[in-house]
Amino acid sequence: MATSDDICLRAAGISRSFGGRQVLQDIDLDIQKSEIFGLLGPSGAGKTTLVKLFAGIDEATTGSVDLLGTRLPKLSMLQRIGYMAQSDALYMELSARENLQFFGELMGLGGQALKRRMNHVVELVGLGEHLRKPVSSYSGGMKRRLSLAIALIHEPEVLILDEPTVGIDPVMRQSIWDELRQIRAAGATIIVTTHVMDEADKCDRLGMVRDGRLIAVGTPEGLKQDTGSHTIEEAFLYYGGVRP
């Protein structure tokens, strides 16, 4: 039984609506510390809205989100979270280095510590050669990598990544996942939304979201068994209503 000490994030009765539109309904979820939790679901199911609630940058209409024991949203908690949005929010006219420096300083890093972290994350995402070029010249995959580097720069306790590896080739994807596992081993919790089924398999536990509801939670193996599927993709299609 998971004690409250082991719980990184607790969402209770979450609903979120915009104007008249109900985007999320009645979501209850516990995410453990030091686990990689994946959120899967068709486009428009509400995954992005949900992780924004987890990251504390949006507020639920009803229900509560508690992160590391603190009720969200709370400005001071944001320093402990690393968030990577679905669409890159980078300063196009600046270089990658300047972007990293800005966001790093924003997170309270400075001097040698900042330099060290910058070197680390840059090497991780493989942008060393392109560091001084303006971001406007980057391909989509490169921008994604930079966004990831920025989310990692302050060594957050909770990492929230929205479709992090879209447009990134498999080799880079692999090394990113290796780093994610290392981060988890160091004690951080990682929440990922993804479409890539291979990545779903690498998560410790998965949550399937459809039409704003959480319809299944479990380990990849568990979900496959429950739906009689060989692959996560089949399980997904089952929950998506395509497979009978």
Partner 1 sequence: MPNSKLRAFAGMPMLLRFRLRQDRFKLLCWIGGLALFSIGVAYALDGLFPSAEERQALAQTLRSPAMVAIIGPSDALNAYTTGAMFAHRMMLFTALAVAIMNILIMNGHTRGDEEDGKVEMLRAASIGRLAVPGAALLEMLLVNGLLALVHGIGLGAIGIATMPFSSSLLYGAALGAVGLMFAAAAALFAQLSTSGRGTLTLSLALLGAYYVLRAMIDTRSPELSWFIPLSWSYLTDAYVLDRWLPVLLALGLSVLLVLAALWLNSIRDVGAGFLPQRGGRLHARRSLLSPFGLTLRLQRTMLISWGIAMLVIGLVYGSVFGSLDEFMAGNASLERLLPPGSAGDLNAQFLSLLTVVLAVMGSIPALTSLFRLKSEENRGMLDNLWSRSVSRRHLFLLHCGFAAAVGVLALLLASAGLYGTQASSMDHPFTVGIIFCAVLSYIPALLFVIGVGALLIGWLPHLTGLLWLYLAYCFITDYMGDLLNLPDGLKKLTIFSHVPKFPVDAWQWQPLLWITLIAVVLVAAGYAGYRRRDMR
Partner 2 sequence: MGAILTVRDLSKQFGHFSALKKVNLEVEPGEVVGFIGPNGAGKSTTIRILLGMLQATSGDARIFGRDVWSDAVEIHKRLAYVPGDVNLWPNLTGGEIIDLFMRLQGSGDRAQRDRLIARFELDPGKKSRTYSKGNRQKIALVSAFATDAELFILDEPTSGLDPLMERVFQECVEEVKAQGKSVLLSSHILSEVERLCDRVAIIREGEIIESGTLNELRHLTRILLRSETVSPPEQLETFPGVHDLERSGSRAVFQVDSDQLGAVMNYLAGLGILKLESTPPTLEDLFMRRYEQSGAKRSETER
- Number of H-type helices and E-type strands within the chain: 8, 10
β-sheet with 62-67: strand ranges across: 21-32, 7-18, 62-67, 70-71
How far lies 81's CA from each of 95, 120, 148, 154, 156, in Å? 24, 18, 13, 9, 5
Told to check if 123 binds partner 1 by CB under 8 A, we report: no
Report 145-204 residues binding partner 1 (CB under 8 A): 150
From 104-112, 196-204, 207-215, 228-236, span contacting partner 1 (CB under 8 A): 104-112
Told to check if 213 binds partner 2 by CB under 8 A, we report: no
Tokens of 48: 């992005």
Told to check if 17 binds partner 2 by CB under 8 A, we report: no
How far lies 233's CA from each of 84, 158, 214, in Å? 24, 27, 17
Told to check if 195 binds partner 2 by CB under 8 A, we report: yes
The binder of partner 1 chosen from 65, 81, 142, 152 (CB under 8 A): 81
Told to check if 91 binds partner 1 by CB under 8 A, we report: yes
Told to check if 83 binds partner 1 by CB under 8 A, we report: yes
Told to check if 43 binds partner 1 by CB under 8 A, we report: no
Q: How many other CB atoms are there within 10 angstroms of residue 66's CB atom?
A: 16
β-sheet with 158-162: strand ranges across: 81-84, 158-162, 189-193, 36-40, 205-210, 213-218
DSSP character for 73? P
Told to check if 169 binds partner 2 by CB under 8 A, we report: yes
Given the structure tokens 């996942």, which residue do they identify? Answer: 177
The binder of partner 2 chosen from 12, 23, 131, 197 (CB under 8 A): 197
Choose between 79 and 219: whose C-beta lies nearer to partner 1: 79
List interacting residues with partner 2 (CB under 8 A): 41-44, 86-87, 139-142, 163, 166-175, 177-178, 195-198, 202, 233, 236-237, 240, 242
List interacting residues with partner 1 (CB under 8 A): 18-21, 23, 52, 55-58, 73-76, 78-79, 81, 83, 85, 87-89, 91-94, 102-103, 105-107, 150
